[in-house]
Amino acid sequence: MKQRTLGNSNFSVSELALGCMSLPTQIDDAAQIIQTALDYGINYFDTADLYNNGKNEEMLGQILKPVRDEVYIATKVGNKWTDGEEGWTWDASSDYINRAVRSSLQRLDTDYIDLYQLHGGTTDDNFEEITATFEALKQEGLIREYGISSIRPNVISRFVPNSAAVSVMMQYSLLDRRPEEWFSLIEEAGASVVSRGTIAKGLLSYEWKERITEKGYETYAYGELEQLLNELEQQYGNLQAVALAFNLNNTAVASTVIGASSNEQLNATIAAYDVSQEIADLSLVEQLTTAAHYTNHR
C-alpha cells in the first residue's frame, strides 16, 4: 500500500483509508476487517462521534489499541446527541468541542486523536473560535492535527485558508467532480483532500447494473449514466479500479476512504486498488465525464 503526506502534517497516510461507519457492530466481525486492512498496509482509520452514538469509536479504539502508535485515527465533532431526543443538533461552539473531544478520547481509550475534523459546518459558525479551539487542543496534546469534513464551498473557503487545517474530506468520484473547482484553494492552504464516495453508491463497481436506478446520479440522467458506465467498463474492465485510479491520480488527494461491512468487500476493494496501479491512461474518463460545479452553498 502506497502512502502520501496529508497536507502540511508529517502524517504518511495510506492511499486507502478505512471508513469505519459501515463496520459490523459485533466486535469480532469488525476486528477481522480491521486486521485485513492492517495486513495490507492501511494505516488510516476514519470514524466519528456520531456513528452508532459513539459505539463505533469505542469499538475502533479497543481493536486498534495494540497498534495505536502505528496508525492514524481520525474522528469528527459538531453533531450533538441530546439524551431523550431523537436525532442530533449542530453545535460547533468552543465549549462543546472541548467537552466532545474528551468524550471521544475516553471512548477511543487513547491519549490523543491524530486528526480531529469539524463534521460539517455552516456560514453561521464562528470559524475564528473553532480554529482557536482546535489550536488550543493541539497545544494541549489532545489532538495532533485538525481538518474538516464538508462539501460546502462557502464553509471550506472560510475555514481552510484561515486555519492550519491539513485535510478536507469531500465526496468525490468520477461521477461527482464538483470538488475539483476547489482543489487549488485547498492545496494552496496546505491541506489535502480526503475523498469519500469514490464508488458512488456502488455505481462504480461490478454491481453497477443492479445499483443503477431511473433517478440516475448527480448530474447524470439514467440513460446517460448507463451509456457512460458501459463505455467505461468496456474500456477499463474493472470500474472500481478506474474509480480509485481517477481519485488518486489527482495530486490534491492524499487518501480515499473506503467502507467495508465484510472481509469480502474489503478484499474486493484491495484487489481493485492493485489493478488501479496499472491504469496509466485516464483520458477517456476525462473526456466522458462532466466537471460540474456546486450550485448550492456558494
Whether residue 133 contacts residue 98, with contact meaning beta carbons closer than 8 Å, is answered with yes
Going by C-alpha positions, the residue among 39, 36, 46, 48 that lies closest to residue 11 is 46
User: C-alpha angle with apex 148: 143 to 154, nearest 5 degrees?
Assistant: 145
User: C-alpha angle with apex 22: 251 to 37, nearest 5 degrees?
Assistant: 60
CA distance 280 to 271: 17
Angle between helices 239-248 and 222-236 (to 10 degrees): 90
Whether residue 179 contacts residue 152, with contact meaning beta carbons closer than 8 Å, is answered with no
Q: Any catalytic annotation for residue 222?
A: no
Among 40, 44, 51, 116, which one carries the catalytic annotation?
A: 51
Residues 6+ apart with CB under 8 A from 81: 50, 53, 54, 88
Pairing relationship of beta strands 12-14 and 3-5 according to DSSP bridges: antiparallel
**Which residue is associated with the grid cell 436506478?**
213
Active site residues: 51
